[in-house]
Amino acid sequence: MHEKEIEDVLRQLKTSEKGLTAHEAEVRLHRDGYNELSVKTGVNGWKILVQQFSSPLVWILLVAVVISVYLGEYVDAIIIGSILVLNALLGFLQEYKAEKAIEALQKMASPKAKVLRNGKEMRVESRMLVLGDIILLETGDIIPADARVLEVHTLETQEASLTGESFPIDKKTEKLALKTPLAERTNCLYALTIITNGHGRAVITATGMKTEVGKIASLIKESTPGLTPLQQKLHELGKQLTLAVIVIALIIFVTGVVQGRNASEMFLTTLALAVAAIPEGLPAVITISLGLGVQKMVKRRALVRKLPSVETLGSVNVICSDKTGTLTHNEMTVTKVWTDDQQYSFSGSGYEAKGEVFLNGTTIDPILIQMLLKIGVQCNNTVLEWENKKRNAIGDPTEAALLISGEKGGIHRATVERIEQRVDEIPFTSERKMMTTLHRVDGKIVSYTKGAPEVVLNFCDKILLNGKVRRLDGELRKTILQQNMQFAQDALRVLAFSYNENIKKETAEKNMIFVGLQAMIDPPRKEAIEAIKRCQSAGIRTIMITGDQRATAEAIAKQLGMKGITITGQELDLMANLEQKIDEIDVFARVNPEHKLRIIEALQQRGYVVAMTGDGVNDAPALKKADIGVAMGITGTDVAKEASDMILTDDNFATIVNAVEEGRAIFDNIRKFVNYLLSSNLGEIILIFLATLLGMPLPITAIQLLWVNLVTDGLPAVALAFDPAEQGIMKRKPRAAKENILSKKLSENIVVLGFLMGGLTLLLFWLYRDSSLMKAQTIAFTTIVVLEIVRLQVIRSEYQLSFFSNWYLVGAVLSSLGLQMLVLYTPLNKFFDVVPLHIFDWLVIGGIGAALLLFNCMVRRFLGREKK
């Protein structure tokens, strides 16, 4: 509708400037439905619950439960079953809550709206509004539906939550070109944005799901997030283990039967070995690792809504960040002023009145520029209020910035208004582009004016320089305009200020005295600048996505240290092969929600793991589509929070870097556990397999295998989740997106150590062959337990962690050894078919453990030299 004349819009909507009749409104309501966002319904709880058991790893665990019950190992069955139920419940609850974004959009709707019905003004519920309704709007109103402007009186809106544009939008009634981008449609109003100044009338052109915010709701519903990298890796690992367990079990069983062994004994041993090969502790350790990560992140001011998100952040190599309110404050700040033919700068940012005034890098007394600052404070209709220990602007953010620059210079509105009481006002209009207020000072009337520099300058014939009024000659005018252009080139929004003395309202804006310029911007957060540097050192790209104009986006990007090229939404529309050029682009300006989705999809097609930060309604679809969505907790809308995986409670971009560090540490701990578990289990498999092939008696019985499995997969494995992060973890490059938990290097490590552990244990079993079979099996049984504990430190040494850096692990190891002693030296030994060991036996087993440690040290030293 933005490309049509007002008369054509009204004709197409079959309405008039007097509004609809109540009857016609009711007819349209029945035809088009309520002005509300539809909620996704029909969630099948049973279906979600069944889906929790669709993983191959879960299938293995179910088989393990059956095997354990068959063998009479009810404790094992209960433990494994409990793990299954815990993980199923966790996944169920996460999925069941995942689709609340649309409900959050509903909550944001304005409950009441002013509308013309039967030619009279009345209030109705916003959900009852229909196409063709004429709505009346004023400062502070939340716009209830999309509309075409009919009449404006200094009407301005804040559309940052929808378009990302941080400046207030001055609304007009004139028609625009058909291809005008959403953020530049100055004759349109959008649902859930806010009137920041003035008043006006508009005709509703779209309601409910057909509004721009409704289209976003549709995108959220259509955007289906895929599996997280961790889920993908576990899925792949589960399939590999399923195949491996089946093949190994069949080979061992068939080999034993062919050799003439007891089929029943081989069957039980094969089943026990299968249970031993199954990492039933894996889901528990992952849940605990991620849970611990969540607790740590809460302390670091990040609230994780979905457990896998912690690990996903650890593999992120691109962060797409919304500019407004994320990399910047979403609070306009005066950074530079020009007066007395000098350029001054302000420190500080946002609506906190902390900062100083500088001239050529030196702090100066702000009394030198007080006249300029006083005009900005007095010619002002915005109010700053404290809420939840934070200052908020009610009105125009530009005027809020002027109040703050005044306070930094010692000019407080409450104080100056008592001395210079306002008596009248000439309001700002888009045609005049300036505003004037009149004040009584010592019995005389003084006027203060602010506005567009080129406009204000035309009404001035004098200038205030160093406290004296001089004639404004051509050379000074040229200097002022050049300074204005310089500020504009730095993407600063510039206002000019002037005054008049002893005048009437009719002459207030004639022959004024020019004072100076104030230039402002929504500045980058200091912590965001540092965070981007840390991201760069960690091999992570940062991409800015904003609805702001190119010049503003490029200026902010430069301050943030981003060096890639910038393209606009219009250029993006003409680009057919974005995924081929995405590596060169750091800044996207003037974009809409569909563009954000396309950018993320292009990055994902290139193999990137993408995090998206944002706070507005317009960010929600991209937050949901990204590998991990990060919403702002303070400034973020409910929509953004519900669509996200993680919420930053301090709105601090730097917190994301902390989350990346935590995610990397968690993945390291998961990989340590997988390494430990599989190499230990492989050692058990090699032990049984080699003994079977060599025709030797079984070195370890089924019940002993299950005990080793329970002891080594129990406390020590879980304690690995408490390992601290490796030093310098944030100096590593991110993992490749497709890198499995079982990397080539890790797989080789598991195989070598597995064969070594199995071989050393079989060697001891063979050395004790002249003893009783029970004694030899006891030696093999205990050797496996000791070697698997030694294996813990072998793995941790690769991350340069000492044994005593994790006291939970120390306690777990002592507990496991204690349990083994309990089996050997109490009546339980009859149940496990073992005999007590002598001190010499322990020395032999200890020597084997020392040999494993020595072998590891030699290999690491050799590889270290090779690397050098």
Q: Each residue of 315-363: pLDDT tens digit?
A: 899 999 888 777 887 789 999 999 999 999 999 888 888 899 999 989 9
Backbone angles phi, psi at 300, to 5 degrees: -100, 20
Per-residue model confidence (pLDDT) at position 64? 66
The answer to whether the CB of 586 falls within 8 A of the CB of 574 is no
CATH code 3.40.50.1000 region(s) in the chain? 304-328+525-651
Q: Each residue of 373-393: pLDDT tens digit?
A: 999 999 999 988 887 777 888
340 φψ region: left (φ > 0), alpha (ψ -120 to 50), beta (else): left
Q: How many other C-beta atoms can be found within 10 angstroms of the C-beta atom of residue 512?
A: 28
The answer to whether the CB of 310 falls within 8 A of the CB of 294 is yes
Name beta bridge partners: 450: 435, 497
Q: Nearest 10 degrees: CA dihedral of 739, 741, 745, 748? A: -140
Residue 684 token pair? 């058990």
Structure confidence at residue 548 as a pLDDT band (50, 70, 90): confident
Strand ranges, E, within 190-317:
194-206, 302-304
- Cα–Cα distance for residue pair 782/788, rounded to 1 Å: 10
Residue 405 token pair? 């620059």
* Residue 101 to residues 107, 212, 638, Cα–Cα distance (Å): 10, 16, 8
- Cα–Cα distance for residue pair 720/321, rounded to 1 Å: 34
Beta-carbon-side half-sphere exposure of residue 610 (alpha carbons within 13 Å): 26
Mean pLDDT of 236-254: 76
Q: Nearest 10 degrees: CA dihedral of 618, 620, 623, 629? A: 120
- Cα–Cα distance for residue pair 92/87, rounded to 1 Å: 8
Q: Is the dihedral of CA 780, 781, 782, 784 positive or negative?
A: positive
Please give the residue that has the higher pLDDT: either 361 or 77: 361
Q: Each residue of 154-207: pLDDT tens digit?
A: 888 888 767 766 668 889 999 999 988 888 899 999 988 888 788 899 999 999
- Cα–Cα distance for residue pair 553/596, rounded to 1 Å: 15
Mean pLDDT of 46-56: 65
Per-residue model confidence (pLDDT) at position 103? 43
- Cα–Cα distance for residue pair 534/496, rounded to 1 Å: 39
Per-residue model confidence (pLDDT) at position 228? 54
* Residue 450 to residues 101, 344, 410, 509, Cα–Cα distance (Å): 42, 19, 20, 10
The answer to whether the CB of 491 falls within 8 A of the CB of 555 is yes
- Cα–Cα distance for residue pair 765/775, rounded to 1 Å: 9
Structure confidence at residue 865 as a pLDDT band (50, 70, 90): very low
Per-residue model confidence (pLDDT) at position 549? 81
Q: Given 133, 141, 146, 322, which residue is catalytic?
A: 322
Q: Is the dihedral of CA 452, 454, 455, 457 positive or negative?
A: positive
Per-residue model confidence (pLDDT) at position 717? 78
- Cα–Cα distance for residue pair 34/25, rounded to 1 Å: 11
- What is the DSSP pairing of strand 512-521 with strand 460-465? parallel
- Annotate 612-641 with three-state secondary structure: EEECCHHHHHHHHHCCEEEEECCCCCHHHH
Structure confidence at residue 462 as a pLDDT band (50, 70, 90): very high
Per-residue model confidence (pLDDT) at position 307? 65
User: Is there a catalytic annotation at residue 583?
Assistant: no
Question: 90 in helix, strand or coil?
Answer: helix
Per-residue model confidence (pLDDT) at position 619? 77
Residue matched to tokens 């058991």: 53
CATH code 1.20.1110.10 region(s) in the chain? 229-301+659-867
Structure confidence at residue 232 as a pLDDT band (50, 70, 90): low
Instruction: List the one residue out of 241, 296, 283 whose CA is nearest residue 673.
Output: 283
Query: Average pLDDT of the chain?
Result: 83
Per-residue model confidence (pLDDT) at position 578? 92
Name beta bridge partners: 363: 358
pLDDT higher than threshold 80 for residue 412 = yes
* CATH dotted code for 304-328+525-651: 3.40.50.1000
- Cα–Cα distance for residue pair 597/589, rounded to 1 Å: 14
Question: 472 in helix, strand or coil?
Answer: coil
* Residue 245 to residues 2, 312, 389, 566, Cα–Cα distance (Å): 66, 29, 59, 53
Indicate the angle between helix axes 229-258 and 263-277, nearest 10 degrees: 160
Q: Each residue of 622-641: pLDDT tens digit?
A: 888 898 898 887 767 666 77
Question: 497 in helix, strand or coil?
Answer: strand
Question: 756 in helix, strand or coil?
Answer: helix
Beta-carbon-side half-sphere exposure of residue 739 (alpha carbons within 13 Å): 19
- What is the DSSP pairing of strand 194-206 with strand 146-158? antiparallel
Please give the residue that has the higher pLDDT: either 54 or 539: 539
Name beta bridge partners: 188: 148
pLDDT higher than threshold 90 for residue 135 = yes
pLDDT higher than threshold 80 for residue 711 = no
pLDDT higher than threshold 70 for residue 100 = no
DSSP string, 764-799: HHHHTTTS-HHHHHHHHHHHHHHHHHHHHHHHHHTT
Instruction: List the one residue out of 335, 338, 394 whose CA is nearest residue 524.
Output: 335
- Cα–Cα distance for residue pair 634/653, rounded to 1 Å: 12
Per-residue model confidence (pLDDT) at position 833? 87
pLDDT higher than threshold 70 for residue 246 = yes
Per-residue model confidence (pLDDT) at position 107? 46
Residue 406 token pair? 């005044």
Structure confidence at residue 823 as a pLDDT band (50, 70, 90): very high
Under DSSP, the state recorded for 159 is -
Per-residue model confidence (pLDDT) at position 108? 42
Per-residue model confidence (pLDDT) at position 866? 42
Instruction: List the one residue out of 634, 650, 645 whose CA is nearest residue 301.
Output: 650
Instruction: List the one residue out of 666, 672, 702 whose CA is nearest residue 684.
Output: 702
Q: Each residue of 568-596: pLDDT tens digit?
A: 998 999 998 899 999 999 999 988 767 88
pLDDT higher than threshold 70 for residue 265 = no
- Cα–Cα distance for residue pair 672/662, rounded to 1 Å: 15
- Cα–Cα distance for residue pair 277/271, rounded to 1 Å: 10
For the domain made up of 229-301+659-867, the CATH class stated in words is: mainly alpha
- Cα–Cα distance for residue pair 674/740, rounded to 1 Å: 11
Q: Is the dihedral of CA 516, 522, 527, 533 positive or negative?
A: negative
- Cα–Cα distance for residue pair 18/499, rounded to 1 Å: 42
Structure confidence at residue 844 as a pLDDT band (50, 70, 90): very high
Q: Which amino acid makes up residue 91?
A: G
Per-residue model confidence (pLDDT) at position 721? 80
Percent pLDDT > 90 in the chain is 36
By residue count, the chain amounts to 868
User: Which of these CATH numbers, 3.40.50.1000, 3.40.50.720, 3.40.1110.10, 3.40.50.300, describes 333-521?
Assistant: 3.40.1110.10
pLDDT higher than threshold 80 for residue 38 = no
Query: Is the pTM above the cut of 0.85?
Result: no
* Residue 221 to residues 99, 224, 310, Cα–Cα distance (Å): 8, 7, 24
* CATH dotted code for 6-39+105-222: 2.70.150.10
